[in-house]
């Protein structure tokens, strides 16, 4: 219940072992920062209403910000710390040297997740994208070769970012289901925003595609013990080479979502992408191709360049 305090909420847990574990972590082992405390116990760190926060996580975060480091807080709701920013005053014996510090504070999980995604550094390769997505997506299971097709495409930061965003949407949708497998209110919102409409980011393959590409839309992973999993549902990233993210569907209660393929929509797209990339950076190669394909035009082009005149005029001389 919203008005229930933390201690009271923990005491209502029926599992006695779970209750003891939470209380032990809360009052003995955490939640504390793991690094060595950087501010001194004699420092005067004061929050609102003259509350002393020295030797606390709030005081430690304020001290780190004072020394130019990026730091924030995560609070439990309900509590007295559901506001942001948290202002802390670092007081000294000389009032003019005191500093007012502002600390970003999170207590709503999805807001924290969104801000962490924004601050995450850009990936520099498809391999970095694969490692990041596999380690950060708790509700998604990736097939061993799910990223392999993507490795054959020249790397693009915008595409990498869009792929990561779509995978985050899938991860959020899986977690937005109750124990019976029904979508929560948040799940319905995600589905409306990304799975419906003419330009939706996710959709099912057409019946024609399912019949024509039945083999291509079937995936297996020996390591996971999965064979012949049909995955026509896919996410779409529009680029020079259209990228598709194929995954298992529907979402079932208590089960993870399998991401089976991330790569070009067609093997021909890989060839086209490489040709485009090659010619865009090899103008000389493009000219040589013209010379090979059109020898008559090439001869006249070279003669005109050497004599600095049209071929016709030079012969008339």
pLDDT, mean of each 10-residue run, the chain (317 residues) = 66 77 72 74 86 90 89 87 92 79 90 78 89 86 94 92 93 85 89 92 93 92 93 92 93 84 68 42 54 52 45 38
| Sequence-ordered strand ranges (E) for 208-286 | 218-221, 226-230, 234-237, 243-247, 257-264
The length of the chain, given as a count of residues = 317
Q: What is the pLDDT of residue 73?
A: 92
How many beta carbons lie within 10 A of that of residue 104, not counting itself?
Answer: 16
From the number of C-beta atoms within 10 Å of its C-beta (0-12, 13-18, 19+), residue 136 rates as middle
Strand 257-264 and strand 140-142: the pairing is: parallel
Q: What is the pLDDT of residue 272?
A: 39
Q: What is the pLDDT of residue 61?
A: 92
Q: Are 160 and 129 in contact (CB under 8 A)?
A: yes
Q: What is the pLDDT of residue 191?
A: 94
Q: What is the pLDDT of residue 246?
A: 96
Q: What is the pLDDT of residue 283?
A: 53
The pTM of this model reads 0.57
């Amino acid at each position: 219940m919203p008005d229930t305090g933390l201690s009271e909420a923990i005491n209502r847990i029926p599992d006695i072992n779970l209750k003891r574990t939470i209380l032990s972590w809360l009052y003995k082992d955490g939640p504390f920062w793991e690094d060595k405390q950087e501010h001194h116990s004699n420092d005067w760190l004061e929050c609102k209403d003259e509350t002393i926060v020295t030797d606390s996580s709030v005081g430690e975060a304020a001290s780190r910000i004072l020394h130019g480091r990026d730091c924030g807080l995560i609070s439990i709701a309900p509590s007295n710390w559901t506001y942001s920013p948290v202002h802390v005053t670092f007081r000294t014996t000389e009032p003019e040297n005191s500093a007012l510090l502002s600390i970003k504070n999170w207590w709503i999980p999805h807001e924290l997740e969104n801000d962490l995604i924004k601050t995450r550094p850009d990936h520099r390769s498809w391999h970095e994208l694969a490692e990041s997505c596999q380690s950060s997506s708790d509700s998604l299971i990736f097939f061993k070769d799910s990223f392999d097709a993507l490795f054959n495409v020249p790397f693009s930061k915008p595409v990498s970012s869009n792929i990561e965003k779509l995978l985050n949407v899938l991860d959020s949708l899986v977690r937005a289901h109750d124990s019976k497998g029904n979508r929560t209110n948040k799940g319905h919102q995600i589905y409306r925003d990304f799975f419906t409409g003419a330009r939706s980011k996710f959709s099912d393959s057409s019946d024609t595609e399912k019949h024509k590409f039945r083999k291509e839309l079937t995936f297996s992973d020996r390591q996971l013990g999965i064979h012949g999993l049909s995955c026509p549902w896919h996410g779409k990233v529009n680029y020079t080479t259209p990228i598709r993210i194929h995954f298992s569907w529907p979402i079932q209660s208590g089960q993870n979502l399998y991401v089976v393929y991330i790569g070009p929509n067609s093997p021909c797209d890989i060839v086209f992408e490489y040709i485009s990339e090659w010619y865009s950076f090899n103008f000389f190669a493009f000219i040589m191709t013209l010379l090979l394909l059109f020898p008559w035009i090439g001869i006249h082009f070279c003669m005109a360049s050497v004599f600095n005149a049209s071929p016709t005029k030079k012969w008339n001389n």
